[in-house]
C-alpha cells in the first residue's frame, strides 16, 4: 500500500454545553482531520483533538509532527499497518496525538482496501452491544443534577461524573445527582487528578457509602504519584481506574506491575493510535484487568475507530465514548451517528466516514 496524496482539514463545531473537568473547559470541538489516499484512490481518515492539558501536545507541535510524518510515509510502500512506525525517524520525539491521527487513517485505509469494517479487519468475529455512559461535567450541584436527569431521560444507564475541583463540593455534587436519578443508575467518578491522597482515602469510602452504587473511581490523584495510587487502590472498595497515570503502553505496564490501579482507561490519543491502544487492551487481557474505552473529546474518525476497537476486544468492560453527544449533529457523513447510549458499529468498509476537504499533497 502506497500513500500517494494527503488531505488535511479542520473540523469545528460548537458544543451544546461546555465540557468542564478539573483540568480543562471545552466550548468548541476543534479537530485536526487528515486523509491518506492510496494509488487506487481509496482514502482513509484520521482525526484528533489537541488536548495539551492532558497530553502536553500543543496544536503547533501536532501540526509540525504531522508534516514530518507525511514526508516520511508519502510514496513509500506500507506493508504492515501494525508496524508502520518502525520506519519513522526520531519516533520518540513525535507527539502521540500526531501518531494517532496517521495510525487511525492507515487502519481506516487498510480496512477499506480489504472491504471490511474496521472491527472485522482488526480480527473481531462478532461485535458486543455497547452502551456508553454520559459524562456529567463539573458545575454547581443543581446544574449537574439537571444534566444527569436529562441523560437518564435520554436512556443512559451509567453516568461518569467529573469531580476533583473541591472535595466538600464534590460530595454535594454527587449527592445531588444520586438524589435526582435514583439508585438504579450506575455512577462512575472521575477526579482527573484533583484530590490529594488524604482526600481520596476519606472521599472514596464516603461516596460508596452515601452515593452508591459507584462502579469505579478514575484517577483520584496526580498521575505521577504512583505510590499514592497504590495505597488508594489497596484501600478502595471499588476499582481504581488509571487514566492520566496510564498514557502509553509502557505506563500501563508500570501501573499494572506496581498495583497502582485495578483497571485502565484506554484512549487512542494517549496511546498513539489503534495499534498501541490494542496492545494495552491485549496486556490487560493477559492480566485479567478490565478496561474503560474512552476518548479525549474527539468526535470524528478517532471516535469512530475507538468504537470499532471497543466493539471487538474482550478487555473492554466499560464504554465512555460520549463526546458526540455534546454536538447538535456530527459535522461529517457516514459512520456511527452516536445518538443516545447504544453504539452499534456497522458492516461497511473501514470507518465508513466521509469528509469533504480539498485534496492537497504538500503537508499542512
Ligand atoms: Mg479521565
Where are the chain's structural domains?
3-115, 121-343
318-351: burial string, b at 16+ Cβ within 10 Å, e else: bbbbbbbbbeeebbbebbbebeebebebeeebbb
The yes-or-no answer on residue 267 being catalytic is yes
Task: Please give the pLDDT value at position 358.
Answer: 67
The pLDDT tens digits for 39-86 are 999 999 999 999 998 899 999 999 999 999 999 998 888 888 988 998
Cell match 506496581: residue? 258
CATH for 3-115, among 3.30.565.10, 3.30.465.10, 3.40.50.970, 3.30.390.10? 3.30.390.10
Task: Please give the pLDDT value at position 187.
Answer: 98
The pLDDT tens digits for 272-307 are 999 999 999 999 999 999 999 999 989 999 999 999
| CATH of the domain spanning 121-343 | 3.20.20.120
The pLDDT tens digits for 142-179 are 999 999 999 999 999 999 999 998 999 999 999 999 99
Output the CA 11–ligand 1 centroid distance in Å.
23
**Given the residues 85, 96, 162, 270, the one annotated as active site:** 162
Output the CA 294–ligand 1 centroid distance in Å.
8
Q: Give residues whose Cβ lies within 5 Å of ion ligand 1.
A: 190, 218, 243
Output the CA 357–ligand 1 centroid distance in Å.
32
The pLDDT tens digits for 85-132 are 988 988 999 999 999 999 999 999 999 999 999 999 999 998 877 999
State whether the Cα torsion 130-13-46-350 is positive or negative.
Answer: positive
Output the CA 54–ligand 1 centroid distance in Å.
10
- Omega before residue 279 within 30° of 0, cis: no
Output the CA 236–ligand 1 centroid distance in Å.
17
Enumerate the β-bridge partners of residue 126.
none
Task: Please give the pLDDT value at position 349.
Answer: 97
**Given the residues 85, 96, 267, 270, the one annotated as active site:** 267
The yes-or-no answer on residue 162 being catalytic is yes
Distance (Å, whole) CA 174 – CA 139:
11
Q: Which of 171, 186, 183 is nearest to 141 (CA)?
A: 171
pTM metric for this prediction: 0.95
Amino acid at each position: 500500500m502506497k500513500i500517494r496524496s494527503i488531505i488535511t482539514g479542520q473540523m469545528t463545531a460548537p458544543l451544546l454545553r461546555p465540557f468542564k473537568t478539573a483540568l480543562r473547559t471545552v466550548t468548541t470541538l476543534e479537530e485536526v482531520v487528515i486523509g491518506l489516499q492510496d494509488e487506487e484512490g481509496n482514502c482513509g481518515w484520521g482525526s484528533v483533538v489537541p488536548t495539551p492539558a492532558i497530553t502536553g501536545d500543543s496544536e503547533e507541535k501536532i501540526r509540525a509532527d504531522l508534516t514530518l510524518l507525511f514526508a516520511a510515509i508519502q510514496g513509500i510502500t506500507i506493508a504492515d499497518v501494525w508496524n508502520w512506525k518502525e520506519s519513522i525517524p526520531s519516533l520518540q520525539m513525535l507527539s502521540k496525538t500526531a501518531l494517532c491521527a496517521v495510525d487511525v487513517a492507515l487502519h481506516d485505509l487498510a480496512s477499506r482496501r480489504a472491504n471490511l469494517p474496521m472491527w472485522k479487519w482488526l480480527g473481531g468475529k462478532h461485535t458486543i452491544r455497547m452502551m456508553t455512559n454520559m459524562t456529567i461535567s463539573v458545575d454547581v450541584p443543581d446544574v449537574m443534577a439537571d444534566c444527569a436527569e436529562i441523560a437518564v431521560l435520554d436512556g443512559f444507564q451509567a453516568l461518569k461524573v467529573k469531580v476533583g475541583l473541591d472535595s466538600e463540593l464534590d460530595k454535594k455534587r454527587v449527592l445531588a445527582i444520586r438524589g435526582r436519578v435514583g439508585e438504579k443508575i450506575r455512577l462512575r467518578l472521575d477526579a482527573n487528578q484533583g484530590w490529594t491522597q488524604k482526600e481520596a482515602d476519606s472521599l472514596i469510602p464516603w461516596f460508596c457509602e452515601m452515593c452508591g452504587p459507584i462502579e469505579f473511581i478514575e484517577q483520584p490523584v496526580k498521575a505521577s504519584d504512583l505510590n499514592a495510587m497504590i495505597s488508594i487502590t489497596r484501600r478502595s472498595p471499588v476499582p481504581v481506574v488509571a487514566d492520566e497515570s496510564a498514557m502509553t503502553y509502557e505506563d500501563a505496564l508500570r501501573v499494572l506491575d506496581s498495583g497502582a490501579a485495578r483497571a485502565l482507561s484506554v484512549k487512542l490519543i494517549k496511546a498513539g493510535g489503534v495499534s498501541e491502544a490494542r496492545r494495552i487492551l491485549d496486556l490487560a487481557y493477559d492480566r485479567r484487568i478490565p478496561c474503560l474505552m474512552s476518548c479525549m473529546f474527539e468526535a470524528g474518525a478517532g471516535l469512530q475507530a475507538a468504537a470499532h476497537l471497543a466493539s471487538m476486544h474482550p478487555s473492554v468492560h466499560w464504554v465512555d465514548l460520549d463526546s458526540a453527544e455534546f454536538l447538535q449533529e456530527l459535522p461529517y457523513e457516514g459512520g456511527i451517528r452516536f445518538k443516545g447510549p447504544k453504539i452499534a458499529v456497522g458492516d461497511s468498509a473501514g470507518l465508513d466516514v466521509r469528509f469533504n476537504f480539498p485534496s492537497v499533497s504538500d503537508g499542512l
